[in-house]
Amino acid sequence: MQLLPAHKNTETIKREAARLGFMSCGIAVAKQLDEDARRLEQWLNKGYQGTMQYMENHFDLRIDPSKLVPGAKSVITLLLNYFPSEQQQTNTPHIAKYAYGTDYHYVIKDKLNELLAFIKANIGEVSGRGFVDSAPVLERSWAVNSGLGWIGKNGNLLTKNNGSYFFIATLITDLQLEADVPFATDHCGSCTRCIDACPTDAIVDAATVDASRCISYLTIELKDAMIPSEFHSKMDGWMFGCDICQDVCPWNRFAKPNTEPAFAPIHEVLNLSLAEWEEMSEDKFRKLFKNSAISRPKWKGIQRNILTVKQ
């Protein structure tokens, strides 16, 4: 399977990842994540997942890559920048930056498929599976183990050169590669800007987020007919997702606009007023956001969020 040394194959993969537009690529040894398993179990036991019952499923798959790819030897973690070059108009309901353009699941899956096809064509017939955040993979843990960054107090992966406005993708393979040194330093220090800025007090302590209180969860994951009244005065204008804890993070002063054409902002995302969103028909919504992450809560979910923002 492997004609070249592991370090040569690693260099080849990292070059191709860069060509595909990924801003970083790290490698970790595929192993069971015992410490992360304990943290995840504690998090679930406290009910921080809210109504996201899927977080409780496939626990063994989340912590053991060999359950996803038999004979797994390496976990490749890739970061894809999504920081936009344009911002929303001031009179628009807030939308998380990651949703400005085409749904990242489509974009990243295509790139992962290309990378895996490249590996098979240039290195050998290997087994591998690519994952974006919808799969049972602890991608942030693998990113840390791959030397790409550390987990900030807001629960996001942070990097010294690019902040946190990026997607994390994972490729698990049975190919032996040269592992990077895990990231061991927390560069948040005594900073608490994200904790102090969160209007719903969702960050309960360093690197622990009560998702059931997070505005992103309330506007996207929560399927109830109404957002709980205790949060109505705390939505801070957010209609879809939330970037507050990232916007205030000092490390994001280093964020640079992405160069991925698919992430070019949809005109309506940047410019529609609250009234225009409220007047939008379900048919128009489906057409405009067919390939957008904004379609996730569906038209009814967006209308519910608009009513909450207006209060």
Query: For the chain, which domains are there?
Result: 6-173 (3.40.109), 193-254+266-310 (no CATH)
Report the pLDDT value the prediction gives residue 197, as an integer from 0 to 100.
98
Residue type, 90: T
63 CB-near residues (< 8 Å, 6+ apart): 32, 33, 34, 36, 37, 40, 138
User: How wide is the angle at C-alpha 137 spanned by C-alphas 260 and 101, nearest 5°?
Assistant: 25
* Burial status of residue 207 (CB atoms within 10 A of its CB: 0-12, 13-18, 19 or more): middle
| Residues of the chain scoring pLDDT < 70 | 1-3, 134
Catalytic residue among 133, 205, 210, 224: 133
Report the pLDDT value the prediction gives residue 259, as an integer from 0 to 100.
96
Report the pLDDT value the prediction gives residue 133, as an integer from 0 to 100.
84
Q: How many CB atoms lie within 10 A of CB 71?
A: 11
Report the pLDDT value the prediction gives residue 37, as an integer from 0 to 100.
86
85 CB-near residues (< 8 Å, 6+ apart): 257, 258
Report the pLDDT value the prediction gives residue 96, as an integer from 0 to 100.
98
Closest CA to 198 of 134, 143, 152: 152
34 is catalytic: no
* Burial status of residue 242 (CB atoms within 10 A of its CB: 0-12, 13-18, 19 or more): buried
Q: What is the pLDDT of residues 86-136, one digit of tens each?
A: 999 998 999 999 999 999 999 999 999 999 999 999 999 899 999 998 677
Report the pLDDT value the prediction gives residue 1, as an integer from 0 to 100.
47
Q: What is the pLDDT of residues 198-214, one digit of tens each?
A: 999 999 988 899 999 99
Report the pLDDT value the prediction gives residue 3, as an integer from 0 to 100.
62
Cβ atoms of 226 and 303 within 8 Å: the answer is no
Residue type, 188: C
Q: pTM of the prediction?
A: 0.95
